[in-house]
Amino acid sequence: MKTVLYIYILIFCSVQIINAQQNTDSIFSSAIAVSKNQQFDNSIKIAKYALSTDTKRGDIMVFIANVYSWQLKNDSALIYIKKAKSINYQQADLYETWTNILMRSHQYDLLLESCNIAEQNNYSSADILKKRLIAYTELKAYSEGVKIAEAPKNKLMLKQEPFNSLYNSLLIKRNTHIVSANYSLDVFDNDPSRHLGSLGYSFQLGQHTLAPHINWANRFGKNDLQIGTDFYLQMVREQYFYFNYDYSIGSILFPRHRLGVEYYFPLKYKREASLGMRFMGYQNSQVFIFTGHLGKYFGRNFMDIRPFYVTQKSSKSLTLIGTYKYFGKNELNYWGLELGFGNSPDDIFANSAISSFNQLNAYKIKVEKNFMLNRISDFRIGLGYISEEYDATKPYRNRFTIDLGYKIRLR
């Protein structure tokens, strides 16, 4: 008789447990359905009620954390991650959600720590690698990121996206010693061709960048050399100063002295801007230029406009340059389009009349393509057309340009 009673009690308790479980699952399913309609507050209330019926449901805790994070309430989200960990819940959804929350909240040091714990508990090695590479990129710990990417266990994954792009980006940012070479050919319909070349080397000094270079010009049957350097002074919050000085050895085709300074700063909504000035000292004149730019990123696109207000003796002129770029998988793969009115004082491949800056009218269009040759080098080609005044008394002439550029990034 006692045995029968024990069996009855056991069956009754089991039925109650099953019913309670089914009730919890039903409530939880409702919370999931409500979240799909983006009714996040109601979804959290329903999920919390489901959790109150079974306080050991780690999957519900992780779900609540996810919904909080979708609302950018990451502190609340991490509270529920902590609760799930406290009951020793170790399913894959915990590590996926935990690392996602830390990535969304830009807590990259903690993200690396969570990846280590996830790895110890056999969580997806692919997701761990992706998030580690993102974290090292954001922390500017490029060498550490490259080391992780090149570990033997990860080499096969580097052939796939997004690992390939993340690895390339880390290499580009780590290899800060850059050798560059540029060449430009101008072909006219009533004048001999002109040539310009440049060879440069840039490297980092702490967080700053120094870029010495030498420029060569062949025009009007004459040659000239210009030596100089650019310096980028990095500041806080993605602000920096650009400084430039160039000196012409012969002062035949280039200005004897060229100086530049510009302050760059970020704006809201992925915009950036700058304010600056240039000075060019020729043998018989001095040119002062006031400039700046306003640019915006949207998706893989970038648009920018830059005016130049030029003063020379008693004359003044305005130049406008607009650019558009469409980027591929990284910043070295892009198409570019440039439209301009006037002559750009910033472009050594487009300006210089003997002893003065050319202020005559010009209309310009150029298309360029930049692409990676391999993980450490890239090549650029640009084709342009310019309709420009030959002099103030003559009609416009045609000018065709070909620009070539090569960069290699050394360790």
Q: How many Å apart are CA 336 and CA 200, to the nearest integer?
A: 22
Q: Which domain holds residue 26?
A: 2-123
> pLDDT tens digits for 363-375?
999 999 999 999 8
Structural domain includes residue 191 = yes
| Residue 387 near residue 400 (C-beta atoms within 8 A) | no
Structural domain includes residue 296 = yes
What is the maximum alpha-carbon separation in the chain?
121
Q: How confident is the model at residue 143, as a pLDDT?
A: 93
Q: How many Å apart are CA 169 and CA 350, to the nearest integer?
A: 31
Q: How many Å apart are CA 176 and CA 135, to the nearest integer?
A: 19
Write out the two tokens for 287.
Answer: 């040119």
Q: How distant is the alpha carbon of residue 400 from its chain centre?
A: 32
Structural domain includes residue 162 = no
| Residue 186 near residue 193 (C-beta atoms within 8 A) | yes
Q: How many Å apart are CA 14 and CA 276, to the nearest integer?
A: 78
Q: How confident is the model at residue 348, as a pLDDT?
A: 53
Q: How confident is the model at residue 19, as a pLDDT?
A: 40
215: CB partners within 8 A, 6+ apart: 196, 197, 198, 225, 226, 227, 228, 246, 254, 348
pTM score, whole prediction: 0.78
Whether 53 and 190 map to the same domain: the answer is no
Structural domain includes residue 170 = no
* Helix, strand, coil % over all residues of the chain, rounded to 5: 35, 40, 25
> pLDDT tens digits for 101-137?
999 999 999 999 999 999 999 999 999 999 999 999 9
Work out the end-to-end distance of the chain between its first and last CA atoms, rounded to an integer number of angstroms: 84
Whether 183 and 309 map to the same domain: the answer is yes
Q: What is the total count of domains within the chain?
A: 2
Residue 356 is classified by DSSP as B
The 8 Å CB, 24+ separation contacts for 68-71 are: 68/44, 69/97, 69/100, 69/101, 69/104, 69/105, 70/40, 71/40
Q: How confident is the model at residue 189, as a pLDDT?
A: 83
Strand ranges inside 220-256, DSSP E: 222-234, 240-248
Whether 114 and 220 map to the same domain: the answer is no
Whether 107 and 186 map to the same domain: the answer is no
| Residue with tokens 């996040």, as numbered in its chain | 40
Q: How confident is the model at residue 130, as a pLDDT?
A: 96
DSSP line for 328-340: -SSTTSEEEEEEE
Q: How confident is the model at residue 317, as a pLDDT?
A: 84
> pLDDT tens digits for 130-169?
999 999 999 999 999 999 999 999 989 998 999 998 999 9
Where residue 323 falls among pLDDT bands split at 50, 70, 90?
very high
299 pLDDT more than 70 = yes
Whether 289 and 363 map to the same domain: the answer is yes
Q: How many Å apart are CA 230 and CA 177, to the nearest integer?
A: 14
Whether 188 and 321 map to the same domain: the answer is yes
Strand ranges inside 155-238, DSSP E: 177-188, 194-205, 208-219, 222-234
> pLDDT tens digits for 176-227?
999 999 999 999 887 889 999 999 999 999 889 999 999 999 988 899 999 9
Whether 89 and 213 map to the same domain: the answer is no
Whether 118 and 250 map to the same domain: the answer is no
CATH code at position 57: 1.25.40.10
Q: How confident is the model at residue 330, as a pLDDT?
A: 82
Q: How confident is the model at residue 390, as a pLDDT?
A: 72
Q: How many Å apart are CA 256 and CA 224, to the nearest integer?
A: 11
Structural domain includes residue 155 = no
Q: What percent of the chain has pLDDT over 70?
A: 90
Whether 89 and 211 map to the same domain: the answer is no
> pLDDT tens digits for 254-298?
999 999 999 999 999 889 999 999 999 988 888 899 999 999 999
Choosing from 123, 145, 167, the residue where a domain stops is: 123
Structural domain includes residue 133 = no
Q: How confident is the model at residue 346, as a pLDDT?
A: 60
14 pLDDT more than 50 = no
Q: How confident is the model at residue 394, as a pLDDT?
A: 66
Q: How confident is the model at residue 351, as a pLDDT?
A: 45
333 pLDDT more than 90 = yes
Whether 209 and 100 map to the same domain: the answer is no
Q: Cis peptide before 307, with omega less than 30 degrees from 0?
A: no
| Residue 38 near residue 15 (C-beta atoms within 8 A) | no
CATH code at position 300: 2.40.160.40
> Worst-scoring range by mean pLDDT, 11-25, 314-328, 385-399?
11-25
Residue 253 is classified by DSSP as S
Whether 347 and 245 map to the same domain: the answer is yes
**Which SS3 state, helix, strand or coil, does residue 272 take?**
strand
15 pLDDT more than 70 = no
Average pLDDT rounded to a whole number, residues 245-262 = 92
Q: How confident is the model at residue 251, as a pLDDT?
A: 85
Choosing from 86, 106, 123, the residue where a domain stops is: 123
Whether 79 and 210 map to the same domain: the answer is no
CB atoms within 10 A of CB 33: 12
Structural domain includes residue 255 = yes
> pLDDT tens digits for 80-106?
999 999 999 999 999 999 999 999 999
> pLDDT tens digits for 346-403?
655 434 445 455 656 789 999 999 999 998 999 999 999 999 887 666 678 899 999 9
Structural domain includes residue 269 = yes
